[in-house]
Amino acid sequence: MTALTLGSAINAGLAKALERDEKVLLMGEDIGALGGVFRVTDGLQQRFGAQRVVDTPLAEAGIVGTAVGLALRGYRPVVEIQFDGFVYPAFDQIVCQVAKLHYRSNGRIRMPLVIRIPWAGGVGAAEHHSESPEAYFAHTAGLRVVAPSTPQDAYVMLQQAVASDDPVVFFEPKRLYHSKGEVDLDADLADAPPLHLARVAREGTDATIVTYGAQVRTALDAALAAEDEGVSLEVIDLRSLSPIDMNTVAASVRKTGRVVVTHEAARQAGMGAELIASITEQCFEYLEAPPQRVTGHDIPYPPSKLEKHHVPDLDRVLHAVDRVLERDAPGTAPGGSHASIVGGGAR
């Protein structure tokens, strides 16, 4: 096992994929000589050459459109969208071509294309540099959508995405790029959990928190804080947003009887809405309390100085836990101030 940051684990996964298959190539703005804005592709062009690690013009529609042509010709392109907010110029290519060519050709055409997107907030970036567009792509039939939260998952899931014959949107939580974890660099992909399976990040008995990406760390912090009050929280890391592993989610909710879903993206029509609808359909008779959502607000992503008020934090998650456990103080309106798991004070 080797201690790596999540960004370094992605770099190592890309290197493995390039070594394994000469048809794999990387494309993106500044990914070659510079090594990417976040240095995730650092050293790969020097190692594999400018024909396989390609610096592209600043034209996201052109990058993805070129990758579609390469995939049609038998290559396995991995494209980087420099920041999440820059994916929208390529949106037409992704939803009209990448997602539909397999269906449109009655299965004759495969689209082995990975679209890497540094994603969400936490780095104090400017406008268009911190977005949470995952629901757009999870809603689009024909795309796989995944989001690792640990260096080990980032390393393995990236290689699995490259090996997949389906197009994969690979969301990388950029506020976790520098978080460290143990990585098995000799991991056999054949022995790894399938790309679509969720992970039980922490076992518990009293309530379930379902989340993904950088919010997994917030959920684990909430579980640790709740433990001091005798509350046992189970944390489910979805890993895959399309398809969703509802078997793992439903098994946890049936065990605990209570569920909180949290994500950074806006509340309306977000992943939380889909998850809670599916949980209610599959687990209604097991639920002891209404499911709760803890999300970003229904606003354009705020400036960096205000994003701490937008991203769900420990207190907001624990407040939702209080509600599903019916621990609100008497007369307290939802979202109000009360004393409970975190010891009191305004939330």
Chain Cα centroid distance, residue 50: 29
Instruction: Say which DSSP state 89 is in.
Output: G
Q: In whole angstroms, give the CA distance from residue 279 to residue 207.
A: 13
Match 């889909």 to its residue by tokens.
Answer: 274
Q: Give the number of C-alpha atoms closer than 13 A to the C-alpha of residue 235, restricted to the C-beta side.
A: 25
Six token digits for residue 180: 């460290």
Cβ proximity of 180 and 210 under 8 Å: no
Match 């409970």 to its residue by tokens.
Answer: 340
Q: In whole angstroms, give the CA distance from residue 343 to residue 347.
A: 11
Among this protein's residues, is 129 annotated catalytic? yes
Of 129, 263, 310, 319, the active-site residue reads 129
The strand pairing partners of 53, in sequence order, are: 26
Cis peptide leading into 243, omega within 30 of 0? yes
Q: Give the number of C-alpha atoms closer than 13 A to the C-alpha of residue 304, restricted to the C-beta side.
A: 10
Instruction: Say which DSSP state 140 is in.
Output: S
Six token digits for residue 194: 């399938």
Question: How many angstroms separate the most distant Cα atoms in the chain?
Answer: 66
C-alpha distances in Å from residue 62, one per residue of 59, 78, 79, 170: 5, 14, 11, 19
Give the residue numbers marked as catalytic. Answer: 129
